[in-house]
Structure formats: C-alpha cells, structure tokens
Structure 1
Amino acid sequence: MRLFSTKWIPLLAAAAALAATLPASAQIDALRKVLGSDSAGTKAGVKETPEQVAERLSGWQKEARQTLGSLDTPGAAAALPAGISADELESYKRDLELLALTITQIADKADLAKSDPKAKRQIDPAEWTGFDEPPPYSVLLLDELLNERDAAERKLAAAQSSRSNYQHLLDAATADGKAADQLVGQRISEVESAGEEARDAAKWRLAAASVRTRLVTCRIHALNLLLSKLEDTITRTRAEIVLLDKKASVARSHLRFNDEDIRSIEKITSQRKAKLDEEADKVAARIKAARISQSEARKSLDALEAEAAAGGTPVGMELARFRLEVADGRLDVLQNLAEGLENLSHLETVTLQIYKDRLALQNAIAPEERARHISALRDFHERLSAAVTALGNEFATNSADLTKLEARASSVLDDDPRLPLINEQRVLKGEKIAMYQRLIQSGESLDRMVTRWLDEAVPKEEDPGIQNVLGRAKAAFGKIWNFELFSFENTIELDSGEIQKGRVPVTAGMLIRASLFFLICYWIAARFA
C-alpha cells in the first residue's frame, strides 16, 4: 500500500500549478501541505535508514506540536477559513495530538530495543554441550528446569496471542491507510476545483488529510515495531524451550534424589522463611503505627460528634469520618499483608513436607505404602487448587476496587483535602493486590509441580473407546493442518518507503484448502465444457 502512491502524481502536479498563482511563501506552504516537507528528498521505493526515519518522525512531531499550539491560541477558531466546522477542527486537533503521542511511543520502543541486551543475544541450543557439574544431578535441578519450561510455555502462548491481536490491528490500520490515501486524493481534487472563496477551506482540509495520513503511517510503524519485538520473543522462547528440554533430558537420565537433597531443601526453606520473617517484622511495625493512627482518628471524630450533640456546628466532620475510614482500611490491609506473609512461610514448610512425601513415594516398595503417599500428594493438590482459585477471586475483587479508587481520584481536584487520603487508599490497595499476586504465583507454581509428580507416579491410562480414538485423530489432523511449511515477509510501502508487515506463515491446511478449491472449480468448468 502506498499512502502517497503514484496515482496522485497528476493531481499533485495540478495542485502545484494552482499553488503557482499564490505568493512565493504561500506556494511553498501549499506544496508542503500536499507533499509534506520531508518527502522532497525521499524517492519512491528507496527505504530509509532508521536514523532517517527517526529524523523524519521528529520533524513530523515538531510540526504537529507547533500546529496544535497555534490552534489552541485565543482567536484561532475565529481565524479559520469559512466553512470549517467545529467538528472538523476538533478532529484535526485530535489527530495532531495522537500524531505527537504516537511518535513519542515509537521513539521509546526504538530506544528500548537498542538498550535490551537480550534482543541482541540469540539462544542456540546446539551450543550447550552439558552441565559444568558431573552427574548425577539433583532432583532440585530437574524441578527448576521443568518449572522454567512451564514459564517459557506460558510466555510463548502469551506472545503468540499478542502477535495475533497486533496483526489484526495492523490489518485495520492498513485499511485506514487506504482510506487516508483516498481522502488525500479527494482533498487534492477539491483544491484543484475550488473557487476563490472556497480555496482556503479546501487547503485547510488538505492539510488535515495530510496529518491523518501521517498518523496512520506512524500507527503502522509502531505496530510493526511491536510485531518485530514479539517475533523475536517467540523465536527466542522457542529456542529456550528446546534448550530446557535438552537440559531436562540430560538431568533426568542421571537423576539423584536422596536425603542430601532433602537437607538442601531444608536449608533453602530456612533461608526463605528468614527473609519472610524480616518482611513480617516491618509489617508488624507498620501495624503498630496504624493502630495509633486509627485511635487518633477515632478520638478526633468522637470529639466532633460530641460537639454536634451539644448543639454546636463542628467543622470538618465529613473529612474526619473519611480519615477514620482510611485508618480502618490501612489497618485492614496491613493485617492482610501479615497474614499473606504467614501463608507464604507456611507454603515453604509445606514444600519441604511434600518433597519428603515424594522421596518416601520413590523409596516405597509395598503398593499400600505407595498408594498412601500418592493420596497425600493428591489431597494436597486438591486443597492447593481450591486455595489458588479463592485467591484469584480475591485478586479480581480487589482489582475492581482499585479501579473504583482510580476513577474517584481522577474526579478530585488537587487542592481537595481528600486527595492525599484517596491516594493512600490506592497505594494500600495496590500492596494488597501485590500480596495476592505473590500468593497466587507461589501456589500455582507449587501446584503445577505436584501435578507433574502425580503424573509421573501414576501414568494416565488411555481410554481405548471411540471417543479417545476420535480425539487423538482430531489432534493429529490439527497438527497436520496447522503444520507450517514455510513463511514469507509481507511488506507495506508507505510514503517513506517499505515498512515490514511481519511474517506470514503458509500452513499445510492453506495448501489443502487451495487445492480443494481448485479441484471444485475444475470439476465445475469440466461439467459446463
């Protein structure tokens, strides 16, 4: 797609001829509105360097801010050409604001990509030749590798989902670009055919259309930066998963799990619980101070209520009630944090116990003894899953409460005495949400690990029934259908040159669908022949 495609050349020539009848300064301004000051030195089909793109975008941003500033000056609306409506002016100003903001976001993303060391370092699983330590390898190492692999799988799924979403946004932006392209052509025609009275308004609308084109160009560029980063993340994460699988395979083939590992877990557990105790001591000190603040807020409100009961007119009673409400909430949140730290410490203790159960399960010989340890692990898994679900509900509820506080803070003026109290509520609610998030992540990680142990201890028996056969057939067909044969880079040509659209995969399903469509068309044509 060309946002300034060659089909507009005759119209641009006509606009240039029309501008030639204006004074010299007006000629330059008119042509700048049509072509953009940056396009004079840019040849069609020549791709700009990143430095040239950055310089051009910086120029666009400067022009947008200057134009927006001139439109915001007193009397600017009255000086508009006749026929320009208030809606057109607001749309123009909105496009200028978005253009300046989008260019800032593009610059931030480009700077972040340059400073990210991971983006420059590629992962090659073939380079890994083995662990530095000789075998056997502790079961803790295997669990760590498998936990990292689970996290990498979730990261890969999230990146692929984001890539799909941004690709849809890019498709929509491409359609917007075509519409902006058509609007530029329409505005040029209007300038060409406008009479003396309507010419200024036509030029103004052409300038607005040019800004819209620049805005869409920047959106496409920003989306391509995001897609490029996501593509790098997906590639790196896939390589990371392959490397983790390779390491886990080596560790599993020379695995060790004995009392020495239990002693290591005991040491790790003690260290983690000591750090949690340090956090708990700090929270306890905050709770002590919060109780004092709550007592003072209660006394202040009681004094005002006593004054009102005596027939007086106390000042600040509503604010005093709000201070007491915040003090109560502060104490509640801090007590919740203390409870959360206790639960995290308990999870450390439980982790040690389930490792002991796992070791006992490994060493058990009698079927009854194995069944007892498996039952203990399964019961723990069920309790932990229920607890994680409950924590997730609390997390969602408190997130909704934080949203309400954010909305409330946005509607309060800076000089309102309630604003500092509302801000404190927001901070406290954020701390509470962060604690729920820590508990959920710790619980989910432990639950996934126990589930993996149970799957290894009790392999699932496959159902030989028709449903299982159909399910496996469906899964196999899905893998074949979605198998990626090759891919290609699709590009979009803008006024500045080419912009990468992203990698487009070609799957076996696409070829099968195309072949079936060809055969159907061939059969229909043969029937008519």
Structure 2
Amino acid sequence: MTRTVFSFLRLGLLVVLFAGSPAMAQLPSLKLSEDKVEAPQEETPADKRKRLKSWLDEWRGQVDVLDKGVAPPAGITPDEVASRRADLLLGIFTAENTIRSLDTADILKQSIAQAKEENAKWKSFDKPGPYSFVLHDELRRQQEGIATRMRAYESAVNMFERELGKRQDEIKKADEVVRRAQETADRAAPENVDAEVWRLESAKLKLRALSSAAAMLQHTSDNTRLRTASAEEEAALLKRKVAALGTETAFPQQDLDHLQHSTDERRKDIAKELNGIEKSQQGTIADRQTALAAVEALKATPNPTDADKAKLAAAVDRVQGLDNQLESLANRVEITGARLRFLSEYYEAQKSRKTLLTSQSAADRTEALAALQTQLARASAFDSLVDVRRNSALSAMQEQESRLTSLPPDSPLRPQIEQLLGTLRGDLDAVERFGQDISGLHLDIGRWLADSDQIAKSMTWGERLSGLGSRIAKQAKAVWNFVVYRYDDKTEVDGQVTTVRRGLTLGWLIGALLFFFVAYRAGSWLLKRAFKRLVGKGRVEQGQADTLRRWTRIAMGIVLALVTLNFLKIPLAAFAFLGGALAIGIGFGTQTLFKNFISGLIVLAERKVRVGDILEVDGVAGTVTSIDTRSSTVRSFDGVDMIMPNSVLLENKVISWTHDTPVVRRVVRVRVAYGSQLRMVSTILSECAAQHGVIMKTPEPQVVLEEFATDSLVFAIFFWIDLRAKTGGSVVASDLRFMIERRLSEAGIALASPQQSFQLHADKPLRVQMDAGEVEEVKPV
C-alpha cells in the first residue's frame, strides 16, 4: 500500500480515537495518553464497512437531533450549528459512497478474474478467414473504445490523487483545530464548559467527515485502477483477436445488403423525425402570426391602462419567445436534414473501402482512396459544424435557464420558457446524435486509410507508379487551393452593404507574386534602357539619370503593388490591422526614416542640389554622386565618400559651388621686390593667365596691384575656371605659379623674399676679430 494510503489510515484511526463514546463527549476534558495508543493495523473491508456503518448511524442520529430543533449550549451561534449540520451531511454522503465503493471493488475484482479467464480460454475464431468487414469494424471499434476508457481512467486517477492531496492538507488543518479546541475546553471556565465541549465535538466531527471524504476518494481511485486492470485484460484479448483477423477483409453480399437495409430503415426514421419537426415549425409560425395580431391589437388600444400595458408586454414577450422557438426549430431542421443527407455516406465509404481492398485495378484503388480522403475531409467539416451547434445550443439553454430562475413562480412566462427549453434540449439531442454519427464515420475512415498504408506496401512498383500521377495532381491541387489569408470584402448597392468572406489561396498568391516580379523586372529593364538613351543624347547626366531611375523604380513598385492587390481583389481596408496603436508605434519608430524619405523627395523636386554639384557641408567639400531614398552621397576631393541624411541638405547650412553655374573665380598672388618694373610684371602675369588652356577667356583674367607690403609688391591674378573640367583649381593655380616664375626669371625680375632688419645699440665700439676658421668671440671693447 502506498504512503498516501498509510497516511489516510493513520488519520482515520486518529479520528476514531478522538470520537469517543457519547458519555465521554460530555466530559470537560478528553486527554489521551500517547503511550497507550497501539500501532495502527490495516483494516479489512469488513472492518471498514462496520466502522462506516457505525459512523452513519451516529451521524444520522445527530442530524435528526438538529432537525428536531434541540437547542445547543449557550454561546453557540446559528452559523456554528449550520456548519456542524453541513459536516454531518458531508460525512453521511462520503460514508455511503465509500461503502458502495467497497462493494464495487469486489465486483471489479471478479470481473478482472473473469477477463483473465476468458483471455486464457480464447484460442482462435471458430471459422477460418478472411473475415467480414463487420467483424473487423466491430473489434476495432471495441479497441478504440477501450483505449478511450483507459485514457479517461488515467486522467481520473490523476485527478483523484490531486484531490487526495488537498484533502490531506485539510485534515492536517482540522487536526490542529481539534488540538486547539481540546486545549480551550481544558482551560474553559465552568460556565463555558458546555459550549467549548460542543465546539470540540464539532471539530472532531469535521475531522472525521474529512477523513471519510479522503477515504471515499481513495477507494474511488482504487476502483478506477481496478477498472484499468480489467480494461487492460480486455484490450489484450482484443489485440489477439484483431491480430487473428489478418489484413485480408471480406465483403460478403449479405452483410452489404444488411448494411443497406439498416441504412434505409434509419433514413425512414430520420425522415419521419424531420417531418414532425417541420410540422411543429409550421404550428409555431401560425402561433406567431396570432401573437403578432394580438400585439398589434393591444398597440391600437386608445388610452391604455396599466393592465393593457402589462398585457402588451406579455404579448411582446410571447412573440419573442416564439421567435426563439422558431430559430431553434430551424436549427434542428438543418441538423436533421444534414443527418439525412449524410446517412448514405457510411454505405458509400464501405463501397470505396471494398474497392480499395479487393479491386485488381490500381486506378480504381487510387480513385477509391481519393474518395475516402474526400469523405474524411467532409466528416472533419461536419465535426466543426457539430461543435458550433452544440456550443450554441448549450449557450441558449443556459440563457433560458438563468431567465427561468429569475422569474417568480406565478409568472405567465414560465410555461413559455419551459417549452423553449424543451425545444432546445431537442436541438441538443439532435446535434449529439449527428455528432455521434459523424465521429464514428470519422474514426472508421481514418482507420481504413491507415490500413491502406499496409496495403500500399504490398503493391508492385508498376501499381504504385500508375496511381502516383493522380495522387501528385491531387496533392498539388490541394496545396494550390490552400487558403493563406481570409478577409471581408464589402460591396454597397443602393445603400445596402453586403459583406462577403473571401479567401486568398496559395495559387492566387503565387500568381500575383509572379506577376509582380515579372512586371517589376520588365519595368526596370525599360527604365534602364530609357535613361541610358537620355544620357546618350545629353539630356541628363549619368548621376542624375541614376537617381531619377531609382526613384522612378520605387514609384513603379508601389503602383505594381496596388495593381497586384487589385488583381487579388484584396481591398486596402483589409490592412486596417496596421492602424491604431501599431501604426502609432511604427510611426514613432520610423519617423526619422520617413523624414529623410520626404526630404529626398523635396530635394529632387526643388533641384537645388543635383547629382554632380560641388557642395561644402560641415567644412567638407565634395561632389554629389547620388541622391537616394534616405541619404545622399558626397565624394570629397580626397576620394572619401560621405553619406549624409537627406534632411541635412534641407536643415543645415550647405554651400553649393555649382548651384546656378559651375564657373568659379580663383586667385593667385605674386610678390615681387621693390624696384621691379610694375607694368612689365602686370603684362607677364596677364600673358601667363591667357596662355593657360583651362582658364576661361570670358570673363577675362584680371591682374591688379593689390598692396605695397613692407618687403614686397603684391600682385593678384583673378581668373575663372569651370569646375566640370577635369583639371581642378589647385592644379591650375600651380601651373600659373610655374609659368610666372619662369617668365619673371627670363625678364630679370626677382620674386620678393621675406626681409628683417635689426637695430643694435651699444655704449662702446665693438671689436670684431675675424678668424679663418670660425668666429670665436665677440666682446665689447
């Protein structure tokens, strides 16, 4: 026996020790010496029955005393009396169930022994195989039923174990309450002894009732394990029988005829039931017309009294109740009609199964397999319908039962609601019966398809390949028609809005993506060709063409995306889930991205900054090489690319050297010594500037005498160059300096050099002594 069982036995014996006799229960103190308590021994079932029956007699007697209104001791509140009575009823209930569980355990043990005996006695079937499909299905259904029962038993045992743990905690707390109540009774004043002893008895009673509840759970759990053992024996026997059936299945004509006959009989019964429901529906429609006429008549009553208003309200409720009843009857007509239509599915499935197992044609077997798979899919769909209808019927019944509970007993609406509840119960019954039919067919077809895998292994390679093409085509069609996304399509006609639930299949999605890809690639190729011709004709420069082509391609992608959505018939409203909080979050997260994106559009629209312009930003000068969707690239004269956000071109100070024209003025300054011929110098400088091939002739270079410096005469040559030329301004200035230096040297004009003068003040003459080697010392005389 497990540790949990021993714990409950010890607690049960503790309850027995605390219970005492009625005479002892009146004593003010009930102290027991621990050294006199013998070790607990395991009870036999007979001892348990005897103890539980004595408890039952005692508890029933106490309940009778409480029901007779015998006053409790002074100081006992009515709540305490009610709590004691509840504990007594709990003890009676659990003790009765425990006694029944003990009786059930004996029966279960006998059934286990009988199952073992049958398992040992069974050797084989009376007749050799192959055996009828009826026997195959019956034994397999029994196997599935036993497997389901065993899973339920396992779940029940786990639940009982959890409940036993909770009860054990409650027993420990109750034991502590008994101990404190004993201590309180021992120290009670004489005038409070009766009340405290009464409370002590109540605490002991609660402890014993909880122990009885734990024992009930324990015995119920043990019985569930016995049921599991019995089911295991049945499962072992069924496993042997199913193995003895073999894989070959026979389809005798008499069994098929019997199946057809039973199907016809059931069809007649269901058709009769459907006819009765339709008659009830017609009668309810007539009652509703009468009720509506009564409502109209009451509404037309001039100066209605309170009684008239009450009658009108009752009549309106009557119409509403009849509407609910009509809706319920309509649901039952739908379910019963579906049962009638689905009734022949089982017979057709058996025929497909027969073809699958007995036909010599691989094509026929493939077709039969496809038919079974289709019927399995239909059964799954009907399973979903049954779940929806069941939940709807249960919800409606709960609503009407709550409404019925809130009505007074003499309300005139009670018969109407009770009638509606009866109709709803009929609906639920029809749904459950339909669900059983669907579930049975679902399980059978699933099992048959699993068996077909074994049959497929026995086929030759030729038989397998002959049916492979159709299976591949069917699977491909199923994948192609798979619904990826569902959305609501709303259409308004004459003020009436019609909502249609549409599905986007995988095939449509693949087609749309292929269309988008091909169109985008073709459009990109055409744009590339068009801008290449524009560049070739000199209409735009290469950098500008690349930027414009990139932006045009983005716009083309957006337009193609909208066209693709229209091709798929998906409205933009289907993406409304992007709104709200999600859109706000995306907006805050991507505000910088959109800021630069819009800045790029503005830059392109204003054309104040273009590809090829020479800019100076943050002290760095360079040429704009590209203007993209988010950023632009400026290549400095050192060959380093500087990537800057487009917003910088709008918000910061930007110097453009080529905004309106790429022609800029540069200057080179020359210093000549005093005494030089100024006109000759000016002429030489002008000739040098005119001889340089990069310097523009218009405007003409200018030579000016800029300054009389302390050590030189400063001339300046102002000249203009085109920044688009391959030679930069620094190179041109360097060329000019080389030319000027050469021409001035030929003319005998010297370039000025920096000069400094010193003034020396001394009181005495300085003696200077020169030596052939070095100047050793200079000293004042």
Per the TM superposition, whether the score is higher than 0.5 is yes
Q: 1:81 aligns with which of 68, 74, 81?
A: 74
Q: 1:397: how far off?
A: 2.8
Over 3 Å counting, the alpha-carbon distance change for 1:326 and 1:357 in structure 2 is same
Distance 2:110 2:286 in 1: 49
Which stretches in structure 2 are left out of the alignment for 5+ residues? 1-6, 32-37, 458-781
Distance 1:106 1:419 in 2: 40
Distance 1:121 1:416 in 2: 58
- Paired residue for 1:3? 11
* 2:115/2:230 contact within 8 Å kept: yes
Q: 1:404: how far off?
A: 2.7
Q: 2:123 aligns with which of 107, 123, 129?
A: 129
Bigger relative contact order (CA 8 A; separation at least 6) = 1
* 2:26/2:197 contact within 8 Å kept: yes
Over 3 Å counting, the alpha-carbon distance change for 1:418 and 1:111 in structure 2 is farther
The alignment-based identity, stated in percent, is 20
After TM superposition, the score normalised by the length of structure 1 is 0.72
Q: Does 1:184 align with 2:178?
A: yes
Q: Does 1:98 align with 2:90?
A: yes
- Paired residue for 1:339? 334
* 2:353/2:368 contact within 8 Å kept: yes
1:31-430 maps to which residues of 2 (within 5 A)? 45=41, 47=44, 48-49=46-47, 51-69=49-67, 80-82=73-75, 84=76, 88-103=80-95, 105-106=97-98, 122-124=114-116, 125-132=119-126, 135-252=129-246, 255-257=249-251, 259-307=253-301, 311=304, 313=306, 314=308, 315-430=310-425
- Paired residue for 1:476? none
Over 3 Å counting, the alpha-carbon distance change for 1:248 and 1:29 in structure 2 is same
The 3-state SS of whatever aligns with 2:300 is helix
Q: Deviations over 1:382-407 (max 9, x none)?
A: 12112202211221232233223333
Name the aligned partner's letter for residue 56 of structure 1: S
Q: 1:365: how far off?
A: 4.1
The CA RMSD over aligned residues, in Å, is: 3.7
Q: 1:446: how far off?
A: 0.5
Q: Deviations over 1:237-282 (max 9, x none)?
A: 2222222222222223563135554333222212222332343344
Q: Deviations over 1:83-120 (max 9, x none)?
A: x5665455334323433444455567678889999968
Over 3 Å counting, the alpha-carbon distance change for 1:104 and 1:417 in structure 2 is farther
Q: Deviations over 1:322-345 (max 9, x none)?
A: 222222333333333333233223
Over 3 Å counting, the alpha-carbon distance change for 1:92 and 1:255 in structure 2 is same
* 1:33/1:207 contact within 8 Å kept: no
The 3-state SS of whatever aligns with 1:349 is helix
* 2:28/2:194 contact within 8 Å kept: no
Distance 1:61 1:300 in 2: 59
Distance 2:426 2:110 in 1: 30
Over 3 Å counting, the alpha-carbon distance change for 1:113 and 1:340 in structure 2 is farther
* 1:33/1:210 contact within 8 Å kept: no
Higher strand share: 2
Over 3 Å counting, the alpha-carbon distance change for 1:355 and 1:49 in structure 2 is same
Distance 2:238 2:201 in 1: 55
* 1:8/1:185 contact within 8 Å kept: no
Over 3 Å counting, the alpha-carbon distance change for 1:4 and 1:122 in structure 2 is closer
The 3-state SS of whatever aligns with 2:410 is coil
Q: 1:138: how far off?
A: 0.6
**Max Rg structure:** 2
Over 3 Å counting, the alpha-carbon distance change for 1:93 and 1:429 in structure 2 is same
Q: 1:161: how far off?
A: 0.4
Over 3 Å counting, the alpha-carbon distance change for 1:348 and 1:201 in structure 2 is same
Distance 2:90 2:184 in 1: 26
- Paired residue for 1:30? 26
* 2:91/2:209 contact within 8 Å kept: yes
Q: Deviations over 1:469-523 (max 9, x none)?
A: xxxxxxxxxxxxxxxxxxxxxxxxxxxxxxxxxxxxxxxxxxxxxxxxxxxxxxx
Q: Which moved more, 1:177-186 or 1:151-160?
A: 177-186
Over 3 Å counting, the alpha-carbon distance change for 1:279 and 1:237 in structure 2 is farther
The alignment covers a number of residue pairs equal to: 437
Q: 1:431: how far off?
A: 1.8
The 3-state SS of whatever aligns with 1:316 is helix
* 1:136/1:254 contact within 8 Å kept: yes
Over 3 Å counting, the alpha-carbon distance change for 1:120 and 1:381 in structure 2 is closer
* 2:335/2:434 contact within 8 Å kept: yes
Name the aligned partner's letter for residue 449 of structure 1: D
Higher helix share: 1
* 1:61/1:103 contact within 8 Å kept: no
Name the aligned partner's letter for residue 293 of structure 1: D
Distance 1:285 1:116 in 2: 49
Distance 2:358 2:218 in 1: 55
Q: Deviations over 1:129-153 (max 9, x none)?
A: 3445554311121012112211221
Distance 2:318 2:428 in 1: 22
Over 3 Å counting, the alpha-carbon distance change for 1:141 and 1:5 in structure 2 is closer
The 3-state SS of whatever aligns with 1:122 is helix
The 3-state SS of whatever aligns with 1:295 is helix
After TM superposition, the score normalised by the length of structure 2 is 0.50
* 2:407/2:414 contact within 8 Å kept: yes
Distance 1:115 1:409 in 2: 43
Which stretches in structure 1 are left out of the alignment for 5+ residues? 17-25, 36-41, 463-529
Distance 2:190 2:124 in 1: 80
Name the aligned partner's letter for residue 350 of structure 2: Y
* 1:34/1:207 contact within 8 Å kept: no
